Structure 1
Amino acid sequence: MRKLGSLLLLTVAIVLVLSGCANSKSKDSEKVVTIGSQKAVTPYYLAKEKKWFEEEFDKLGVKVNWVEVQGGAPQFEAVSAGRIDFFVTGNTPPIAAQNAGIPFNIIGVASTGQKNVGIVVKSDSAIKEISDLKGKKIAVAKATAAYDNLLRLLNHGGVNASDIEPINLQPNEAKAAYTGGSVDAWVVTEPFLSQTIVNDKSRVIADGSTIDYTSPAYYIGRKEVVDKHPEYAKAFLTVIKKATDWQAENLDEATSIYTSQLGMNTEVVSKVIEHVNFTLAPLDDKLQKTQQGVAQFLYEQKAIDKVPDTKQITNNQYVNEVLK
């Protein structure tokens, strides 16, 4: 009887071990893609709200995992740690990430706005044009797209960088300084630009369209995932195309979703969409030249220690296939 009991216990133990191994193997074989989440006016957000990513990746037997990471630097830190596979970001963070040796690809252009970065002043300000900025305090975050635009606009207006006093502030801090009157002007990006135009009645004295200069955003893919699973990149961009097209064709409904989910008023949302110029496109020669110029700018600002070749991290293959 004792032998029978021992045999029974041994049998149960073996079953449990085999069961555990099976469960472990099942978990290891589960296919998951991790997408960065952002609460912002962008077709990317619409696609998340409508669960279009889940629908598309389900066709591949892949589960979608969402992770909220705000800001370019934290996004690329997550890439380096293998915690995020796809996301959208501005044009300066990829250069710093490439300089740091983080493996990723730019797999598509998300926007091509020229009015999404601007110099604003209060409605009653005596500042009317770029030349009036001489001797003025200007809120701007250094080594960013905003600062890049400021220097280019100053040069266009015949103003030396040494003729102004840049106050290095992030958007939330800059808004407080600007509305409080401790700076004379603010170089600002979206959605803060549209918010201050609508809510503070600010005037834009110059923006990228003044000098035909684009400040794009990009879709990013972690290189290991793009290389091993090109079907993931195609699935991701397929959803982006669907969402971008849907927004263009259903602008009122899209605006309503943004307004209700993000807590922005309709006028602000409409201006953001107008300024940003959302798209899905490959990185063409003109944008590639612009991106390389931004890399040079960041080097001159001592934000990076060398100038990377930005073409090396550009991969247009999958966006071209999706757009066929």
Structure 2
Amino acid sequence: MRRRLAAPAALLLPLALLLTACGGNASAGTGTDTDGKGSLTLNVGDQKGGSEAILRAAGELKSLDYKIKWSTFTSGPPLLEAVNAQAVDIGGVGNTPPVFAAGAGSKIAVVAAFHGTSKGDAILVPNDSKLTDPKQLKGKSIAVAQGSSANYQLVASLKAAKLNLSDVKVKYLQPADALAAFTSGKVDAWAVWDPYTSQVLQAKQGRVLTTGEGVTNGLTFQVAAPGALKDQKKSAAIKDYLDRLRRATAWVYDHQEEWAKVWAKDTGLPYEVALAAVKRTYATRISVAVDKPLIASEQQIADAFTELKLIPKKVDFADFVDTRYNGGLPSSTTQPRPSKG
């Protein structure tokens, strides 16, 4: 009983995370400052337990030649709205919000990318479900956050099973409502991402029917405001910031328990859930170039949502990238690190 009651409450806590960039209209939280030298301030959009936490844990916020003003957002879309408004110079989101922002004609530029596994992006079913194959989803009800990375993962997973979105009953629900529907049996399945996947599995509230492995690109991005990129000093600060973030991302792989402890404390996640999500998803990420294969992969996502009329017009994703910080990074097609556990 304690586990069954505690898990839904815990799931409500990391709604501020939405680390793979779900939809929503949440606004920024209270900003914090990182000490640094000089008069330049870099305005960075973040999500709870995101870039600031990992940079601090890895010791990468020391000896800055500029100050960082952090603004915390509950999801990718409002963060990109702030980038478009030039209230934020740069911020981190998943693979889908930039597509929707591009569809809205926002002034954004993808400047850095990280490639990880998609094992944490899953379609979950209750433990006692009779579903054993994605092909059996036809006619079933599935909860998913509209415009999220899970939304695309659902579309792609159905396509791999030779099904269309119209073949299932989609229930567009944000995670808290989706959890309630999932645990009460009001939906047959839930398309979601880590750490929610890890929370459901750790609480033994469900099992994985299929994951995004092989059907989604596993990419996350840093997205900058074009105005900041035109500013020579800010552009240099962004380069330094990205270098630090890349080192911190690499640091996680060999410090998974240490990072899970920091992440759990920062977000309120149970340590066991945080560690499971780190091992399955976040430690696998590597820094990759913003290159032609990446653009082509994101174009597929854009075209899929345009076809579904969730994006109002054709998007040319190449118009929303800036490759100046690639600096000898490996191709976006480079395989991520293997999961540990």
Give TM class, smaller chain.
0.7 to 0.9
The equivalent residue for 2:256 is 251
Would you say the 8 A contact 1:43–1:244 is kept in 2? Answer: no
The equivalent residue for 1:33 is 42
* Matched residue type, 1:281: V
Structure 1 residues not aligned, in runs of 5+: 1-28
The equivalent residue for 1:309 is 316
Deviates more, 1:275-284 or 1:81-90: 275-284
Mapping for residues 194-213 of structure 1, pairs under 5 Å: 194-209=198-213, 211-213=214-216
Normalising by structure 2, we get a TM-score of 0.78
Q: Sequence identity of aligned pairs in percent?
A: 27
Q: Distance in 2 between matches of 1:117 and 1:177?
A: 19
The equivalent residue for 1:222 is 225
- The Cα RMSD (Å) is 2.2
Q: Distance in 1 between matches of 2:186 and 2:196?
A: 18
In structure 2, do the counterparts of structure 1 residues 117 and 77 end up closer, same or farther at CA, with 3 Å as the change threshold?
same
Structure 2 residues not aligned, in runs of 5+: 1-37, 331-341
The equivalent residue for 1:187 is 191
The equivalent residue for 1:83 is 87
Q: Distance in 2 between matches of 1:148 and 1:284?
A: 21
Would you say the 8 A contact 1:72–1:90 is kept in 2? Answer: yes
* Matched residue type, 1:224: G
* Matched residue type, 2:41: V
Would you say the 8 A contact 2:121–2:192 is kept in 1? Answer: yes
Q: Distance in 2 between matches of 1:191 and 1:283?
A: 26
Higher helix share: 1
Q: Distance in 1 between matches of 2:105 and 2:275?
A: 38
Would you say the 8 A contact 1:47–1:239 is kept in 2? Answer: yes
Q: Distance in 2 between matches of 1:226 and 1:51?
A: 26
Q: Deviations over 1:127-180 (max 9, x none)?
A: 111122122111112333222221222222233433321111111111111011
Q: Distance in 2 between matches of 1:162 and 1:69?
A: 32
Number of matched pairs: 289
Mapping for residues 6-25 of structure 1, pairs under 5 Å: none
Shift of 1:118: 1.0
Higher CA-based Rg: 1
Which of structure 1's runs of 4+ aligned residues deviate more than 6 A? none
Q: Deviations over 1:187-244 (max 9, x none)?
A: 11122111111123421111112x4432321011111112213212211111102211
Shift of 1:87: 1.0
Q: Distance in 1 between matches of 2:99 and 2:166?
A: 26
Q: Distance in 2 between matches of 1:103 and 1:135?
A: 39
Shift of 1:93: 1.2
Normalising by structure 1, we get a TM-score of 0.82
Q: Distance in 2 between matches of 1:88 and 1:188?
A: 19
Q: Distance in 1 between matches of 2:292 and 2:200?
A: 33
